[in-house]
Structure formats: C-alpha cells, structure tokens
Chains A and B, each alone.
Chain A
Amino acid sequence: GIQVEQSPPDLILQEGANSTLRCNFSDSVNNLQWFHQNPWGQLINLFYIPSGTKQNGRLSATTVATERYSLLYISSSQTTDSGVYFCAVEQRDSSYKLIFGSGTRLLVRP
C-alpha cells in the first residue's frame, strides 16, 4: 500500500518563528489533507489540497502531486499552534479511505 512519511517528527519553535512541515507519499493520490490534532484529540481541518497552493491566515500549503510531496508552512508561530500535524492521503481507487502519516509534533514556546 501507499506509504506516507512526514518530517520532522518533532519540532520545537520559539514563538514568532516560521516553520515548514513536509509530507512525502509513495504513489499517486486523489486527495491530500492537512490536519492539526489539538490536545483533546480533535482533528482540525487545515487544508484540502490535492494539488496547488492554498493560504489561510498564517498557514499555507503546497502540494506538488507529480513529485509526490506536500508542504505546510506556519508563519509567526503562536503557542496555540502546538500539537500534532498530520497529513493524510486518499490513494487512487480507494473510495475516500485516508492513509495518515506519522505526524509532526510541534511545540511552540512563549
């Protein structure tokens, strides 16, 4: 099956710093999503981005489907950005099934 790898696994930032999270996937995908899991376990939708670039406030994401990777940019990080960031892909012909990467655990210090 498809492999989804995220890097780095852990990241510590000082408040105000910028960061880039990466998601590599091993096969063609229908869709790709980025999520933020808060301390209570809730998955917050960040981006639905099978290709191209999207921006939402301090966050932006780019997916280059032909090269099988996606990037999530966090600018001017805040302590509330702390948590785990997951990318998840829908493999072709899989009818919406999502395969999750292992996540990036982010800690933003004040």
Chain B
Amino acid sequence: GAVVSQHPSRVICKSGTSVKIECRSLDFQATTMFWYRQFPKQSLMLMATSNEGSKATYEQGVEKDKFLINHASLTLSTLTVTSAHPEDSSFYICSAHGGEGEAFFGQGTRLTVV
C-alpha cells in the first residue's frame, strides 16, 4: 500500500509556542490530505482538509487561526499549532488517499503542551 510519513512522532512544547507537524506522501502524489485529532480513548475526529495550492477547508468548530495548514506541494502538508496551550495536547494524525481511494495514515504525532 501507499506510504504516508509523519514527523515528528512526539513533541513536547511550552505553552505559548508554535509547533509544526509534517505529513508526506512518500510514493504517490496527493492533491488532498486530511488532518485528524484523537483524544485519549476516543475516536478520530476530522479537523480539516488540506488542498494542494489552495486554502484548507476546516470542519465546524476547528479554529483555522489556531491550526494553520499549508499544502505547498503534491507530497507535503504541514499543520502548525499556533500559540499552543495545554488543551491542545492530543494525538494528531494525517492521511492521504492512494489512486483507488483507499486512505493511508501517517504514524501520528503526540503533542504535549506544558
């Protein structure tokens, strides 16, 4: 199957700082990627759709100024958590779809804001 790589896998940052998470499709091009968030013992919630060359589309309730998404190339999308606070601590995971529509996920990033 297709490979999606996410980096870093784990990050600890101080409250008020910003953190950037990268999502790369390694063996295919992805005009669209997706960012999800998962709280402990809960399911994955879609945050936004990352569109190559255009603005991201955010789900209802997700602050676009807090979670900046950039999709500058066909293989890379980045999620920046700006002015992070402890309540932003979570597991963030990205996905991209292969040629036949199947979704493949990155390894996820565990963010802890202290």
Contacts and interface: CB of A to CB of B under 8 A. Distances in A.
Interface of A: 30-31, 33, 35, 40-43, 45, 48, 86, 88, 90, 95-103
Taking chain B's interface residues, is the majority helix, strand, or loop, or is none over half, making it mixed?
Answer: strand
A95 B95 CA distance: 13
B1 to A, nearest CB: 6
B67 interface: no
Contact of B34 (A40, A41, A96): A96
A88 to B, nearest CB: 7
Contacts of B46: 97-99
Given A41-B93, A41-B110, A43-B93, A31 B43 contact: no
A41 B107 contact: yes
Size band of the interface chain B makes with A? 20 to 34
Contacts of A43: 93, 105, 108
A33 B34 CA distance: 16
A82 to B, nearest CB: 15
Contacts of B36: 100
B103 A33 contact: yes
Dominant secondary structure at the A interface:
strand
Please indicate which of the listed interface residues A31, A41, A42, A100 has the most CB atoms of chain B within 10 Å of its own CB: A41
Counting chain A CB atoms within 10 Å of each CB, which of B1, B36, B44, B45 scores highest?
A: B44
A-B pairs with lowest CB-CB distance, top 4 = A43-B105, A48-B102, A41-B108, A100-B44
Nearest to A97: B46
Contact of A41 (B32, B91, B95, B102): B91
B49 interface: yes
Contact of A42 (B32, B43, B49, B108): B108
A34 to B, nearest CB: 11
A48 B34 CA distance: 18
Contacts of A97: 34, 46, 49
Contacts of A41: 38, 91, 93, 107-108, 110
Interface in B58-114: 91, 93, 95, 97, 100-105, 107-108, 110
